[in-house]
Amino acid sequence: MYLRQLAIGGMLAFSAVASALSPRQNINPGPVSGDTFIHDPTVVKTPSGSYIAAYTGDNVQLKTSSDRTQWRNAGAAFPNGAPWTAPYTRGSRNLWAPDISFHNGQHYLYYSASSFGSSRSAIFLATSPTGAAGSWTDRGLVIESFDNSGWNAIDPNLVVDAQGRWWLALGSFWSGIKMVALNPATGKRADNQILSLAARPDAGGALEAPYITRHDGYYYLWVSFDRCCQGAASTYRIMVGRSASVTGPYVDKNGRQMMQGGGTQVMSSHGGIHGPGHNAVFTDSDGDVLVYHYYNDAGVAQIGINRIRYENGWPVVF
């Protein structure tokens, strides 16, 4: 996600433990073509077998693909605007970091409304039978944060646990990554409890963009460390930890808790791939797939796609 908190971030320190990196992890994205600009991507495979990507942009932008390789622009989720978000966006049409998925016979879209450097933010929900531009019905506010909340209601991700319970991971900077329980019947909050999943107290709080997946009895919490949105100078990097419980505690490969800055690095800048981050993961016929944005040498955000395999219980991209 855009690094909302640059004003409070300060100088960012790299954790020696979290930076442990096997050189073979930093591989190039798989082949993509067509309309490849994207920022803060999320992808769902539809019941028909095609793909829809949602990403940060005016009124939430969409792309489609029939083969996961060739992408085309597909318009805005809300082509007539989203005036209900105005109290959080200071009049901007730019809506951030959507999360798209398919449940209960319809597509769910959680998305963020905020402005740079502010924790006066909100996450909304919309649903659609098709996922196409203009087909989305806004279902209203899910959660909001205030200037004095100490956390930030952006970067949502819906996760359904092994027991069928619904949760929303969210958060960026300040006191870190949070989680709330959802009611599956409405997609809205089930209670008033806010859980904490990850933080970087020794690095200016520089983490955001949570995404939780499940594989072979573990839940994996993916996050992005460091600075986004600086073009080719971006230092975003993709990190992960795991837990036997969806609510944590999450630890990295070395056993360090993510609430204390832990995280195992999956991908960082290399060659012409600058600041890879704000990833999502979806399952396809050939396994789990990582989707993320990175900046090319010209500083333009691009879609990155790689497959994932698991080695000794930890994800590795290839």
Catalytic residue list contains 138:
no
Catalytic residue list contains 35:
no
Token pair 């989305």: residue: 136
Q: Which of the following is catalytic: 58, 144, 147, 208?
A: 208
Q: Which of the following is catalytic: 40, 99, 155, 226?
A: 40
Compute the distance between CA of residue 24 and CA of residue 261 in angstroms, rounded to an integer.
Answer: 24
Each residue of 173-195: b (16+ CB within 10 Å) or e?
bbebbbbbbbeeeebbbbeeebe
Residue 130 and residue 62 in contact, taking contact as beta carbons nearer than 8 Å: no
Compute the distance between CA of residue 130 and CA of residue 110 in angstroms, rounded to an integer.
Answer: 15
- Taking CA atoms, 153 is separated from 4, 69, 149, in Å, by 11, 32, 9
User: Known catalytic residues?
Assistant: 40, 208
